[in-house]
Amino acid sequence: MALSDRVPDLGALELLLAVARLGSLGRAAAELGVTQPAASARIRSMERRIGVPLLERSPRGSRPTEAGSLVAGWAQQVVDSAQALDAGIGALRERRDGRLRVVASLTVAEYLMPGWLVALKETSPGVAVTLRTANSTAVAEQVRGGEADLGFVEGTRRPAGLSGTVIAADRLVVVVSARHPWARRRSGVPAAELAATPLVLREQGSGTREVLDRALASFGGTAAPLLQLASTTALKAAAVSGAGPLVVSELAVADELAGGRLVAVPVPELDLSRPLRAVWPAGQRPAGPARDLLSLTRQSRPA
């Protein structure tokens, strides 16, 4: 329901209340930070809008007329309600600015996010962060559905319906246990052989699987998995035990490669590099803690 033209704006009501309280148009104008001529013009405009005189002016000051006292009583209720609304909006903004919901792919969540969150804690100690992990397809769904303020995905393309930016580069590697026959192949394995070999893999919908499937598409596609697991820890354990070749982010196996528990196998014909992206709903810009975290990811990007 629209308000009628008779209802003054909030600033005019605050001016009327100040005059009634202070007994002077000049003192009321000074309190509200306006000139006395501007305050006089605003009172006259309000009287014309309402249709009755609101103030009696004299050399000793100004005081409300009988009608002005009635309007001032109603105005006080309006101003009190506006102040309550303002306080409520402020509380909502503080609650929004004090929390951050993040959903990230496993690679980002396990190997990059901890450092970023430590840095965010140092710059914004009052922010409460909730971090969930999911594969890249589920990350995109949660961000589109408003379940997260910021998402992090792997893969060759930005998910539909989302804006985003590349925050890091990653590369997939083929690794095997030191006992696997491929570990002794100095020149690596051909892409066609990799495509035909059952592998230890992430599930469909993961950024890792998307990049591998796309890279092997021209070599006959990826063979049916030997094992399909959603946990990086389980994937590495299977590979170390000798179950079969594993394709995984090089971030995930740095320790195992350094310790000799896994061996990297070159596949010269394939480019298994991929970008890691931060994503958010299309048409919006990250704000508050989401903006701060995004800034930290950019600062940490290698030159």
Residue in 205, 21, 10 with CA at minimum distance from that of residue 105: 205
How many CB atoms are located within 10 Å of the residue 282 CB? 13
Q: How far apart are CA 39 and CA 23, in angstroms?
A: 14
Query: Is 303 a residue whose pLDDT tops 50?
Result: no
pLDDT > 90 fraction of the chain, expressed in percent and rounded: 56
> Which whole number is the average pLDDT over 127-142?
93
Given a contact cutoff of 8 angstroms between Cβ atoms, the answer to whether 293 and 175 are in contact is no
pLDDT at position 250, please?
94
Q: How far apart are CA 243 and CA 147, in angstroms?
A: 37
Query: Is 302 a residue whose pLDDT tops 80?
Result: no
Using alpha carbons, list the distances in angstroms from residue 120 to 50, 128, 267, 289.
Answer: 54, 10, 38, 8
Residue 289 in 3-state DSSP? helix
Given a contact cutoff of 8 angstroms between Cβ atoms, the answer to whether 279 and 164 are in contact is yes
Residue in 118, 104, 102, 107 with CA at minimum distance from that of residue 233: 107
CA angle 224, 228, 229 (to 5 degrees): 170
Please classify residue 100 by burial: count the beta carbons closer than 10 Å to its beta carbon, then call 0-12 exposed, 13-18 middle and 19+ buried: buried
Write the pLDDT tens digit of every residue in 85-128. 776 666 555 545 568 999 999 999 999 999 999 999 998 888 88
Look up residue 112 and give its amino acid.
L
pTM for this entry: 0.65
Q: Which domains are delineated in the chain?
A: 10-96 (1.10.10.10), 100-296 (3.40.190.290)
pLDDT at position 288, please?
86
Residue 158 in 3-state DSSP? coil
> Which whole number is the average pLDDT over 138-161?
93
> Which whole number is the average pLDDT over 271-281?
94
Query: Is 1 a residue whose pLDDT tops 60?
Result: no
Look up residue 16 and give its amino acid.
L
Q: How far apart are CA 174 and CA 257, in angstroms?
A: 11
Residue in 110, 204, 113 with CA at minimum distance from that of residue 150: 113
Write the pLDDT tens digit of every residue in 38-71. 989 999 998 898 899 989 888 888 888 998 889 8
> How many residues can be counted in the chain?
303
Given a contact cutoff of 8 angstroms between Cβ atoms, the answer to whether 262 and 255 are in contact is no
Mean pLDDT of the chain: 89
Given a contact cutoff of 8 angstroms between Cβ atoms, the answer to whether 173 and 248 are in contact is yes
One-character DSSP codes across 177-227: ETTSGGGG-TT---HHHHHHS--EEPPTTSHHHHHHHHHHGGGT-PPPPSE
Better-scored residue on pLDDT, 6 or 46: 46
By mean pLDDT, which of 50-64, 79-93, 173-187, 223-237 is the weakest? 79-93
pLDDT at position 91, please?
54
> In the block, which residue shows the tokens 């958010």?
280
pLDDT at position 62, please?
87
> Which whole number is the average pLDDT over 142-169?
92
Write the pLDDT tens digit of every residue in 242-253. 999 999 999 999
b (16+ CB within 10 A) / e for 283-293? eeebebbbebb
Write the pLDDT tens digit of every residue in 8-23. 888 888 988 888 889 8
